[in-house]
Amino acid sequence: MATPRMPPPAELDRLARAYISMVDRSTAATAAPLYVSLAAAQEYLAAVEGFGRGDIEAARRDLAQLLVHARPTSDPMQYRARRPSSGLDIQARVVPDGELLVVVHVHVRNVNVRGRSK
């Protein structure tokens, strides 16, 4: 299966602004169903301990569950999930694709209970 092709930046900006005007963005799950791309799952797998080397599908499911309650940032194409209980701060870059939000990139930081980086 081919990886979704990324539109040019100007087209992404136009799509994001049109998308925001039409949907409730209070959380990622209310905006649209989430699909975690292979690249995003691999980035998450590399950053988080507890998964086996080839456990990409488990990493994809775990990341999707964490992002369900992610909040939007000032960038319309980005969501952030911060869970002190899991010790993770995740920023996800999304691209609308039809009725889906495709997570194309994640940045994962480990944080302690007080919110400082480990």
The closest of 116, 70, 69 to 92, measured between CA atoms, is 70
What is the spatial distance between Cα 90 and Cα 41, in angstroms, rounded to a whole number? 12
C-alpha to C-alpha distance for 7 and 75, rounded to whole angstroms: 17
* 3 in a structural domain: no
* Distance, CA of 109 to CA of 116 (rounded, Å): 10
pLDDT tens, N- to C-terminus, the chain (118 residues): 667 777 788 887 777 667 665 655 566 655 678 899 999 999 998 888 777 777 888 889 989 988 888 888 888 788 898 877 778 899 999 888 888 888 999 999 888 655 455 5
In a domain, 30, yes or no: yes
Is 69 a domain residue?
yes
Residue-number span of the structural domain to which 99 is assigned: 9-110
Q: How many domains does the chain fold into? A: 1
CATH code (residue 31)? 3.30.2310
pLDDT value for 27: 61
